[in-house]
Structure formats: C-alpha cells, structure tokens
Chain A
Amino acid sequence: MKEIDYAAPATLTEATALLARKGARALAGGTDLIVQVRENRRDAELLVDLKNIAELNTLRFDAKEGLVLGAAVPCYRIAEHPDVRKRYPGLGDGVALIGGVQIQSRASVGGNLCNASPAADSIPALIALGASAVIATPSGTRDLIPVEKFCTGPGRTILGPGELLVHLHLPPPAPNSSSAYLRFIPRKEMDIAVVGVGVALALNDNRTACVFARIALGAVGPTPLLVPEAGAALAGRPLAEADLERAAELAQAQALPISDMRGSADYRRHLVGVLVKRALRIALQRVKGG
C-alpha cells in the first residue's frame, strides 16, 4: 500500500475540513475502503476516521420522526436494534447480510451506501423504505437526498469534496406496512449479491389490498435501482400470485443486468423475477403476521 495519512476528528466541522483536502476519503468501518486502497482500486492520501464523531454514531427511533441511522453505526447495532427489526425488517434483512460476524462488527450502512456498490445489500431496502441521506457540507449546511439518487455509478456518489454523509433518515412506517430484502448468492454467506431485491409495501385497513409498494433492485445496474412501475402495479391490487407475477415482470423489464463472474445477464434477470415475488410474499406475511 502506498503511504497514507490518518486523522480521527471528533467533530463534523473538523471532519468536513479534512475531507475537503485533496485525496481525502472518509473511513467508517473500513471493510470496503481498506481493501480497495490496499489493492489500488481506490486512491487515497488521507483517511478521515469518522467513528469518533458522536452524531455519526446515533441510532434512534421515534414514532413521529422515524429512524435516524448514523452513518458510522456498525451493522450489528442496526441488525440487533429492536425498532429496526420490528418496524424496518427489510433494512434488518439487508444489514444482517453484510459480511460475516467480523464484518458486522465494523461495516456501517453509511459506508455501504458511500461505497456505492451496485450490489450493496443495504441500499435496495433503504430505497424501498423511502430513506433519505442527510449530508453535511463544508459550509455547514445540511442537504437531504433520497437514497435512490445518492449513487451515481459503480463506486460513485453525489458527495463532493468536503461533503459527508451524516445519517440516514427513514420515515415512520405506514400502518399495515412491512418490508423485506432478499439477495441471491451461490453460497450461504460471505458472497456479493448476484441479485438483491428490497421491497416495502402497505395494505389497506382490512388488509385486502395494497395501498402502495416500492421495489428496488441491487446488482442489476450501475447503481441500485428503484423500479417504480413494478411497485405502482401493485397499488390497489389484492397481491394475489398474478399480481406478484406482474410486478416481477415489470421489475425484470427495468433491470439492466450485465454478465460478469458473479452471474450472466440472463440469470440475473431470471433471479430478479424470483426474488421480487419471494420478497413481496415475505413482506406480505410480515404485515399479516404482525
């Protein structure tokens, strides 16, 4: 690895100032970044360790405010958080799937988002759940960006020099709603998603029809993709098998898979259909079961 510098600021102000320097990169859990720098896949001159900043370590739920998820909160805290498991199970699904226990101790959802892998396991669920990214800028302002607009390409985000993801905000869940995230990997652990699917849906009061649904796909495009048509097709429907099939077909149509060592484009498109239906069934069960 080439020579680098390391700083561990305690405040956001210091952090944004450091991050404005040339070659500066934010370091949270480091489980992606350290490997990328080591293998010359990302350049860095200065690593700004964000784990000492209190605001980035916040994790709290409030029935009115929703969920505030600090960018540096490690996965295990999120996956084990009772409000996440109960109210945002799709996020819990995705976060729990990021790496093994060792990675869970370090990796953060903020890092997972900023790494901007198309296959990131937390992002489709965040998108489906309508999450927004709260960004600190060097001038001290806060920007709010829907997560589906945060990634701009493989490994690229909208963050500019000196800008920093502070936390993610998830709105309070609607009544009769739930969510799910599934991914397909060849093994049972320790793999990158061949396809990931996050869904969130809400039913009407007597739970006979869908009020709204959001579906997002991972690993089938340059960024995680929101597929609005697939979700929209479920609105007003009873979510019978034929409805799920229709949503799956629409999602497949909007997927932009490529062939690589993790799977062919055809196989990925096939999996989108399978996983959309499975994820919807799980979310549906979660609404009905709880």
Chain B
Amino acid sequence: MPKKIHVQAVINGQPMDFLCEPRQSLLEVLRDELRLTGSKEGCNNGNCGACNVLLDGRLVNSCLVFGAEVQGKAVTTIEGIATAQGLHPLQQKFLEHAALQCGICTPGFIVAAKALLEKNPKPSEEQVRHWLAGNLCRCTGYDKIIRAVLDAARLGS
C-alpha cells in the first residue's frame, strides 16, 4: 500500500496528528481522514473557493495544498468558525440575508470573508467583491452574499 507520512498540525485550535499519503491534498485529509467535511470540493484546481481554509491565518484553497505541507501549521476550517457562544457574525448575517441557496459554496465564502474582515474590518463593496472573486457561487448572483458581508462588517464595529 502507498507510503504514508506523519503530520502534526493544529486543526481548529486542536493539536492533531494524522497520517497521509504525500499525494493527498489538505482537502482530502480534512474530509477523508479527519472527517471535517464542511470544506467542499467544487473544482479541485483552485478556481471555486469551496474548499477555502485558513492556513496560519492566510486564506488558501485546501485543494492546492498537500496534507504534508501543513506540518507544524495551524488550519482553520468552517467547523472552527462558530464557538460555544454561538455563530460568528458572518454566519448569522448569511442566514439573515438569505445569502445561501444550495449552500455548497457557503463554507468557503464564510472562511474567505472572515479572512477579509480580519485584514480589513471596513471593506467597501468593491473590496468585498474583489476579495471574494476566488469564490464561485452559482445560485445567488452574489448580491445577498455581498450584503451579508458588508452587514457583518458593520456589526463588527
């Protein structure tokens, strides 16, 4: 059977060990090995953003990272956004604005928007659209997503 390597990383704040084949992407590791299926595969080549996670705080496509590459790093997935205190403001605003229809792109959008608001808490509409250009949504036409992010930013102040 294929050789596996041992990786230690912090996943959603929790130190974890896992084994993976070198050819397995971080997305595969999250979904198949760690059963964190909130990150979705839409294209598997970095063009849809459905698999977005934060890697040491930076937004990445987990389909374009090998599991082996996260040795010693911190990964935040959609499962790590809400807390025991409740939903993240972005999650709440996505619900209030009906910013999701089928919901498959939603985890990626929320992770990406979180990265945006951490870097730029008061983005303009244009800045939100630019930041989210790497996340495809086919249902909503983006209107309500953009409004949800802008509203969450207002809430954050």
> Direct contact between A and B in the complex (CB less than 8 angstroms)?
yes
Chain A residues within CB distance 8 Å of chain B: 1-6, 8, 27, 29-31, 34-35, 38-39, 47, 49, 51, 76, 99-103, 105-106, 188-190
Cross-chain contact B2 with A189 (CB below 8 angstroms): no
Cross-chain contact A101 with B112 (CB below 8 angstroms): yes
List, in ascending order, chain B residues with CB within 8 A of A35's CB.
45-46, 64
Cα-based distance from A273 to B138 in the complex (angstroms):
35
Chain B residues within CB distance 8 Å of chain A: 2-3, 5, 21-23, 25, 44-47, 49, 52, 55, 58-61, 63-66, 68-69, 71, 112, 115-116, 130-131, 133-135
Query: With A8-B71, A106-B60 as given contacts, are A188 and B133 in contact (CB-CB < 8 Å)?
Result: yes
Cα-based distance from A49 to B66 in the complex (angstroms):
10
Cross-chain contact B44 with A106 (CB below 8 angstroms): no
Cα-based distance from A209 to B135 in the complex (angstroms):
45
List, in ascending order, chain A residues with CB within 8 A of B63's CB.
34
List, in ascending order, chain B residues with CB within 8 A of A189's CB.
130, 133-134
Cross-chain contact B23 with A2 (CB below 8 angstroms): yes
Closest 10 CB pairs of A and B: A100-B134, A189-B133, A6-B22, A105-B58, A35-B45, A1-B23, A102-B61, A6-B68, A102-B134, A105-B60
Cross-chain contact B65 with A30 (CB below 8 angstroms): yes
Cross-chain contact A103 with B45 (CB below 8 angstroms): no
Residue of B nearest to A5 (CB): B22
Residue of B nearest to A103 (CB): B46
Per DSSP, chain B at the interface is mixed
List, in ascending order, chain B residues with CB within 8 A of A34's CB.
25, 63-66
Query: With A3-B2, A190-B133, A190-B134 as given contacts, are A99 and B68 in contact (CB-CB < 8 Å)?
Result: no
List, in ascending order, chain A residues with CB within 8 A of B65's CB.
30, 34, 106
List, in ascending order, chain B residues with CB within 8 A of A29's CB.
64
Residue of A nearest to B130 (CB): A189
Cross-chain contact A102 with B46 (CB below 8 angstroms): yes
Residue of B nearest to A189 (CB): B133
Cross-chain contact B131 with A3 (CB below 8 angstroms): no
Q: How far is the CB of B39 from chain A (nearest CB, A)?
A: 12
Cα-based distance from A106 to B58 in the complex (angstroms):
9
Cα-based distance from A256 to B68 in the complex (angstroms):
41
Residue of A nearest to B69 (CB): A49
> Per a CB cutoff under 8 Å, which of A30, A76, A190 touches B66?
A30
Q: How far is the CB of A18 from chain B (nearest CB, A)?
A: 13
Query: With A35-B46, A47-B66 as given contacts, are A102 and B22 in contact (CB-CB < 8 Å)?
Result: no
List, in ascending order, chain A residues with CB within 8 A of B112's CB.
101-102
Cα-based distance from A34 to B65 in the complex (angstroms):
8
Cross-chain contact B134 with A4 (CB below 8 angstroms): no
Q: What would 9 more interface pairs be, CB under 8 Å, given A38-B45, A190-B133?
A: A5-B22, A29-B64, A30-B66, A34-B66, A47-B22, A51-B69, A100-B135, A101-B112, A102-B64
List, in ascending order, chain B residues with CB within 8 A of A105's CB.
55, 58-60
List, in ascending order, chain B residues with CB within 8 A of A8's CB.
68-69, 71
Cα-based distance from A174 to B45 in the complex (angstroms):
40
List, in ascending order, chain B residues with CB within 8 A of A6's CB.
5, 22, 66, 68
Cross-chain contact B21 with A3 (CB below 8 angstroms): yes
